[in-house]
Amino acid sequence: MKKFEGVYKVKGKLATLNSSPGFRVYDERLLNKGGCEYRVWDPYRSKLAAAILNGLNEFPFEGDSNVLYLGASSGTTASHLADICSHGLIYCVEFSRRMMRELLQVTAQKRNMIPILADAKKPEQYVYRVGSVDVIYQDVAQAKQAEILLRNTEAFRPRYGMLAIKSRSINAVKSPKQVFREETEKLKGKFEILQNVDLRPYDKDHIFLNLRVKK
C-alpha cells in the first residue's frame, strides 16, 4: 500500500523501495514483495518516519526532488530520502567527522547522496557545492534551530522546509511546550506552518514542523 510518493506499507511496516538492492544502512529489515526489495523504515531511528506514522498529511518529496539535509548524521533518514527521491539529489550536511566517516559508507552505495562536511549554521561554507533545492530537511542538535533553518532558506530558496525541533538542545530549563512555541513563532514570518506533529512515543520532547515558504 502506497502512503506517499515513494513511501509504502509492506507487510504492515513502513518502508521505502531499496534503490541499492541488498544494501542495509542501519541493519534494517529487507522485505521482498512483488519482485521488489523494500527497506523497513524504523520510526525509532527516523523522525520523518515517526512523523508519517503520527499523521503527517502533506509530503513535499517527489521522485526528482533535490533535498538539502542538515544534520545527516550517519545517513539513516537521508538514505530513505535517497530511495524516495531516486532521480533527485540529497545534499547531506554533517558537522561531525566521526558521523561523516559512517555517512561516506552509505553514500558510496546511494550515489544520489552528496556528503558535505560543514557547519549547518554557516551555509556560506557549502553554498557553492549545492545546486537548486526543493526542500530543506533539518534535524540538528544545536541551540538556534529556527535560525539555522531561516539562514539556509535565505541561501537556497527552497519551496518547503521540514524541521525536527529538539527542545532539550535549545533550552533544558524551559518547558518543551514553551520552547516549541518560541521556535515556531520565529518561523512564521518566512513560512506557512502546514502541520505540527508530536513525535511521541518515538521521540520524547520533539515536534516535527512541516513548512511551506511564503511567496
- Domain of residue 201, residue span: 43-213
Q: How far apart are CA 154 and CA 188, in angstroms?
A: 14
**Does residue 30 form part of some domain?**
no
Measured CA to CA, the distance from residue 73 to residue 99 in angstroms comes to 5
Question: Would you say residue 50 lies in a domain?
Answer: yes
Interval 52-78: pLDDT, tens:
999 999 999 999 999 999 999 999 999
Measure CA 174 to chain center: 26
Whether 31 maps to a domain, the answer reads: no
What whole-number distance in Å separates Cα of residue 128 and Cα of residue 160?
21
Whether 11 is covered by a domain: the verdict is no
Q: 178: pLDDT confidence band, cut at 50, 70 and 90?
A: confident
Enumerate residues 6+ apart whose C-beta is below 8 A from 97.
Answer: 117
Handedness of CA 169, 57, 185, 123 (dihedral sign): positive
Residue 19 has pLDDT above 90, yes or no: yes
Nearest-Å Rg of the Cα atoms of the chain is 16
Identity at 148, one-letter amino acid code = I
Model pLDDT for residues 127-150, shown as the tens digit of each residue = 999 999 999 999 998 889 999 999
In the chain, the number of structural domains is: 1
Residue 52 burial (CB count, 10 A): 20
| Residue 10 belongs to a domain | no
136-171 burial: b if 16+ Cβ within 10 Å, else e: bbbbbebeebbebbbbbbebbebebbbbbbbbebbe
- Does residue 98 belong to any structural domain of this protein? yes
In a domain, 21, yes or no: no
User: Would you call 34 helix, strand, or coil by DSSP?
Assistant: coil
Confidence class of residue 24 from pLDDT cuts 50, 70 and 90? very high
Q: Is residue 186 part of a domain?
A: yes
What is the tens place of the pLDDT at every residue in 77-105? Answer: 999 999 999 999 999 999 999 999 999 99
Q: Quick one: CA dihedral 108, 47, 5, 61, positive or negative?
A: negative
Residue appearing with cell numbers 513502513: 14
Question: Which distant-in-sequence residues (6+ apart) come within 8 Å of 155 by Cβ?
Answer: 123, 124, 127
CATH of the domain at 64: 3.40.50.150
Q: In the prediction, which pLDDT does 173 show?
A: 64
